[in-house]
């Protein structure tokens, strides 16, 4: 049958196909995530969502640091419109939005202050770019940001990702600014897409944890050019390189924080590709501060994406952690439109660790 001979039938058929495409994933998502969603809502708190500070697209993937005993600073990326609406005529709004600072009370975890960062200054060669995944760490007396730097290419009503790099910036609260300092240089060829590099200051050195497989750690050699040199390049067991058995890439999620005098706590993630899309699974690992190698990890995921808020299940990304007394606070982006926090007791987490063989 030549469908073009019956334009009305063709039109109705295309409408039904579009409707099916728009609805089948949300319907499957609703069925599969109902119980996890209810359970997750009871254990987590929303800090920002669509409409917060008039950002229709919400905020996501925050970085966090403890400023003092009373305050935690959070830095998240906002969106002018939701990512799923930034198509066709609205494609110009893709990844558009400002960094936003929240100051949270350490007891209530409620926002006492929020500031939209107006000035994003760059010292690198970049035209139309966006930043996201804004993790925080201290370096000397500065609050630093390690984040993804995306270069965009516009072709008509379509936006392509020209390049994806890992960059480093400095946050100034007094000047209401983020200054992009550099795309750090490494001593091996970089891939087309580079993200999820994490950093820690240790014994007056700045360490860059580059990848899980192989487990690669670098040290800053030149402050002026942000050039790093590899000090560890080691293949580790499948227990760490494919913890979920999904056969997909395992990456760092959070910057290292002090778990105790001996170990750093880091969260890693792996994606399981389901019918409803990507589903994130997260494990905690402990890295020895002397050897710079991971020695312990949780025997099972401490979080998974099922039950996440937002348009699709699975997108729950733990992007920062803060130790707050006897608790670990896990800050996440959900559905790429929500910022949430979940609390776990340190002693409960300790019971989950097993040695990496």
pLDDT in tens, 3-38: 566 667 666 666 776 666 566 666 666 666 667 777
Q: Is the Cα torsion angle 252, 254, 260, 261 positive or negative in sign?
A: positive
Question: What pLDDT score was predicted for residue 37?
Answer: 73
Q: What percent of the chain is modeled with pLDDT above 70?
A: 91
Q: What is the pTM of this model?
A: 0.90
Question: What pLDDT score was predicted for residue 136?
Answer: 98
Q: Enumerate residues 6+ apart whose C-beta is below 8 A from 87.
A: 94
For residue 214 the two structure tokens come to 């192989």
The model's confidence at residue 221, banded by pLDDT at 50, 70 and 90, is very high
C-alpha atoms less than 13 angstroms from C-alpha of 243 in its C-beta half-sphere: 28
Question: What pLDDT score was predicted for residue 158?
Answer: 78
What value, to the nearest 5°, has the Cα angle with vertex 161 and ends 156 and 162? 95
* Cβ atoms of residues 275 and 287 within 8 Å: no
For residue 314 the two structure tokens come to 């699975």
Question: What pLDDT score was predicted for residue 8?
Answer: 73
Q: What percent of the chain is modeled with pLDDT above 90?
A: 74
Question: What pLDDT score was predicted for residue 21?
Answer: 57
Q: Where are the domains of the chain?
A: 7-355
Residue for token pair 């800053």: 220
The tens digit of pLDDT for each residue in 161-217 reads 888 999 999 999 999 999 999 999 999 999 989 999 999 999 999 999 999 999 999
Residue 298 has pLDDT above 70, yes or no: yes
Residue 90 has pLDDT above 80, yes or no: yes
Q: For residues 14 and 91, which has the higher predicted lDDT (pLDDT)?
A: 91
Q: Is the Cα torsion angle 152, 184, 116, 82 positive or negative in sign?
A: positive
Q: Tell how far CA 13 is from the center of its chain.
A: 39
For residue 45 the two structure tokens come to 């708190």
Query: How would you write the chain as a 3-class SS string?
Result: CCHHHCHHHHHHHHHHHHHHHHHHHHHHHHHHHHHHHHHHHHHEEEEECCCHHHCCCCEEEEEEEECCCCEEEEEEEECCCCHHHCCHHHHHHCCCCCEEEEEEECCCCCEEEEEECCEEEECCCCCCEEEEEEEEEEECCEEEEEEEEEEEEEECCEEEEEEEEEEEEEEECCCCEEEEEECCECCCCCCCECCCCEEEEECCEEEEEEECCCEEEEEEEECCCCEEEEEEEECCCHHHHCCCCCCCCEEECCCCEECCCCEEEEEEEEEEEECCEEEEEEEEEEEECCCCCEEEEECCCCEECCCCCCCCCCCEEEEEEEEECCEEEEEEEECCCEEEEEEEEHHHHHCCEEECC
CA distance readout (Å), 288 to 145, 214, 259, 293: 23, 17, 10, 6
Provide mean pLDDT across the span 284-291: 98
Between CA 317 and CA 309 the distance in angstroms is 11
Residue for token pair 């099972």: 300
Residue 312 has pLDDT above 80, yes or no: no
For residue 230 the two structure tokens come to 């590899």
Question: What pLDDT score was predicted for residue 33?
Answer: 66
* Cβ atoms of residues 51 and 58 within 8 Å: yes
The tens digit of pLDDT for each residue in 102-159 reads 999 999 999 999 999 999 998 777 668 899 999 999 999 999 999 999 998 878 777 7
Report the CATH fold assignment for 7-355. Tachylectin-2; Chain A (2.115.10)
Provide mean pLDDT across the span 212-225: 97
The model's confidence at residue 84, banded by pLDDT at 50, 70 and 90, is confident
Provide mean pLDDT across the span 262-284: 94
């Amino acid at each position: 049958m030549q469908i073009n001979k019956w334009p009305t039938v063709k039109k109705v058929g295309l409408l039904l196909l579009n409707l099916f495409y728009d609805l089948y994933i949300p319907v499957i998502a609703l069925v599969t995530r109902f119980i996890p969603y209810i359970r997750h809502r009871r254990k987590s708190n929303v800090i920002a969502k669509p409409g917060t500070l008039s950002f229709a697209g919400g905020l996501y993937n925050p970085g966090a640091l403890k400023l003092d005993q009373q305050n935690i600073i959070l830095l998240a990326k906002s969106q002018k419109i939701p990512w799923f609406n930034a198509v066709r005529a609205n494609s110009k709004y893709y990844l558009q939005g400002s960094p936003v600072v929240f100051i949270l009370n350490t007891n209530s975890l409620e926002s006492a202050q929020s500031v939209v960062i107006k000035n994003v200054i760059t010292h690198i060669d970049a035209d139309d770019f966006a930043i996201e995944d804004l993790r925080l760490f201290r370096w000397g007396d500065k609050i630093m940001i390690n984040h993804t730097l995306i270069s965009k290419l516009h072709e008509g009503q379509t936006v392509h990702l020209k390049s994806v790099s890992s960059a480093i910036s400095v946050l100034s609260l007094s000047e209401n600014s983020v200054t992009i300092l550099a795309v750090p240089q490494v001593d091996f060829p970089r891939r087309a897409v580079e993200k999820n590099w994490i950093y820690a200051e240790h014994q007056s050195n700045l360490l860059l944890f580059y990848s899980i497989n192989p487990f690669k750690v670098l040290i800053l050699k030149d402050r002026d050019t942000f050039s790093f040199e590899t000090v560890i390049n080691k293949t580790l067991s499948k227990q760490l390189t494919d913890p979920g058995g999904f056969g997909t890439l395992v990456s760092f999620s959070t910057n290292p924080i002090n778990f105790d005098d001996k170990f750093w706590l880091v969260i890693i993630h792996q994606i399981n590709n389901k019918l409803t899309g990507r589903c994130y699974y997260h494990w905690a690992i402990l890295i020895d501060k002397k050897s710079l190698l991971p020695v312990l990890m949780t025997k099972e995921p401490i979080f998974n994406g099922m039950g996440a808020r937002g348009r699709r299940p699975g997108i729950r990304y733990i992007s920062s952690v803060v130790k707050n007394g006897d608790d670990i606070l896990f800050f996440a982006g959900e559905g790429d439109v929500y910022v949430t926090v979940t609390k776990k007791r340190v002693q409960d987490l300790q019971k989950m660790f097993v040695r990496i063989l």
